[in-house]
């Protein structure tokens, strides 16, 4: 049995990671044989964060950053920049914010997702076929004054459950890495086991 603080398989350890959070089942991580590469990008500006409501496909009905598959010949940064423009209509100079590894029980493929952030953008935020962009308060809920920002708090109940752990790190500009394994019943995913670390120079 692996310890709660031990870095799980699948996490790239090129930079030193310090344990941040873990939880779920005591049993082993799920096995996988192949990895698919994805991206996810967030705009954090003036105390607000831009999320998209997914209108179709994987994760439909949830709020998330803007992203998708890394296409052949693209770097993750190129893919993230392209997906942000396709899905939210804006260009941004993205910075790497973290790496996440997700797996569902019984799935052959694991998802490696490179996460990006930017504090400014060019263009007009525009709804696409895939995503409906909306601004939310990026302040911790305890400091949150909706009247001041005139936007709601982050809709964690309508997001992937483990986003609540790492999104505050992204907002704070702290680089992170993590893994979360899920069980799946039909279209419903439940976190089975998770681990998150922050880069030691943060």
Ligand X SMILES: COc1nc(N)nc2c1ncn2[C@H]1C[C@H](O)[C@@H](COP(=O)(O)OP(=O)(O)OP(=O)(O)O)O1
Task: By CB under 6 A, name the binding residues for ligand X.
Answer: 38, 40, 57-59, 64, 67-69, 102, 111, 113, 160, 162-163, 180
Question: How far, in Å, CA of 137 to CA of 47, rounded?
Answer: 6
Task: Give the residue with the Cβ less far from ligand X, 135 or 194.
Answer: 194
Angle CA 197–199–202, to nearest 5: 120
**Matching residue, tokens 């569902």:** 104
Question: Are the C-beta atoms of residues 47 and 149 closer than 8 Å to each other?
Answer: yes
Handedness of CA 183, 104, 175, 160 (dihedral sign): negative
Nearer Cβ to ligand X, position 50 or 180?
Answer: 180
CB of 104 or CB of 137, closer to ligand X:
104
| Least distance (Å) between residue 99 CB and ligand X | 12
Q: 96 near 116, Cβ under 8 Å?
A: yes
Q: What is the CA radius of gyration of the chain?
A: 17
Nearest residue (CB) to ligand X, 118 versus 180: 180
To the nearest whole angstrom, how small is the minimum distance from the Cβ of residue 201 to ligand X?
A: 24
Residue nearest to ligand X (CB): 68
Phi, psi of 129 (to 5 degrees): -60, -30
Q: State the nearest-atom distance from the C-beta of 19 to ligand X, in Å.
A: 20
Minimal distance, residue 113 CB to ligand X, in Å: 5
């Amino acid at each position: 049995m692996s310890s709660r603080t031990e870095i799980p398989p699948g996490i790239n350890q090129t930079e030193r990671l310090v344990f941040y959070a873990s939880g779920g089942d005591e049993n082993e991580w799920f096995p996988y044989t192949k990895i698919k590469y994805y991206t996810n990008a967030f705009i954090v500006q003036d105390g607000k964060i831009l999320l998209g409501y997914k209108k179709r496909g994987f994760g439909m009905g949830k709020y998330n950053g803007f992203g998708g598959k890394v296409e052949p010949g693209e770097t993750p940064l190129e893919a993230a920049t392209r997906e942000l423009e396709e899905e939210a209509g804006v260009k941004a100079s993205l910075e790497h914010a973290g790496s996440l590894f997700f797996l569902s029980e019984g799935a052959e493929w694991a998802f490696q997702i490179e996460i990006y952030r930017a504090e400014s953008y060019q263009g007009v935020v525009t709804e696409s076929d895939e995503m409906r962009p909306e601004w939310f308060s990026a302040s911790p809920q305890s400091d949150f004054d909706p009247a001041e920002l005139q936007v709601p708090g982050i809709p964690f109940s309508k997001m992937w459950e483990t986003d609540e752990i790492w999104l505050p790190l992204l907002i704070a500009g702290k680089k992170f890495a993590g893994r979360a394994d899920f069980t799946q019943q039909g279209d419903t995913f439940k976190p089975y086991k998770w681990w998150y670390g922050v880069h030691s120079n943060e």
